Amino acid sequence: KDENEAGADGENSTEALLARIPDMSDDDILKEMNDMDQYAFDPKNVLLNRGQFNELLELQTDAEPEFMQEIIDMYCVDSQGMLDELKEILGQHECTDQGYDSARAALHKLRGSSSTLGAEGIQLTCESLRELCVNKDLVK
């Protein structure tokens, strides 16, 4: 793939785009940003719920221009902690009742945070995994 080509398939991150910006025209930058936006909100990818995400964007004001960035940063830090907790739970308790209960609780927290942000793909994955824990059918 050409290094200046859009990454609508998820291969290119925002950081990669930012690194290429000095060499790009304004039209190319807008096209890449549009491609990334379409990929993130495409219903078949189920990454983000546009309605929920836009509701949070509406809370951002001129007085708090960094609001959304702060919310996303907090989500990333918190969700990484929840994933680390889940990994530890599954490593310690394996498939015991206590392990399933602890994993279910960790997945519930991550699902809630993801729902608040509009990270629908993660929310749906947590719901599926949580259901496996309820049925005690989670395989490592």
Total count of residues recorded for the chain = 140
Domain count, the chain: 2
Write out the residue range of the structural domain in which residue 83 sits.
Answer: 47-134
25 — pLDDT class (breaks 50, 70, 90): confident
Q: Are 33 and 64 found together in one domain?
A: no
Q: Are 2 and 27 found together in one domain?
A: yes
- pLDDT at residue number 4: 40
| Of 91 and 83, more confident | 83
Q: CA-CA distance, 90 to 111, in Å (whole number)?
A: 17
Q: Are 52 and 121 found together in one domain?
A: yes
Q: Are 9 and 69 found together in one domain?
A: no
| Distance of alpha carbon 38 from the chain centroid | 15
- pLDDT at residue number 127: 93
Q: Are 41 and 53 found together in one domain?
A: no
Q: Are 125 and 56 found together in one domain?
A: yes
- pLDDT at residue number 89: 83
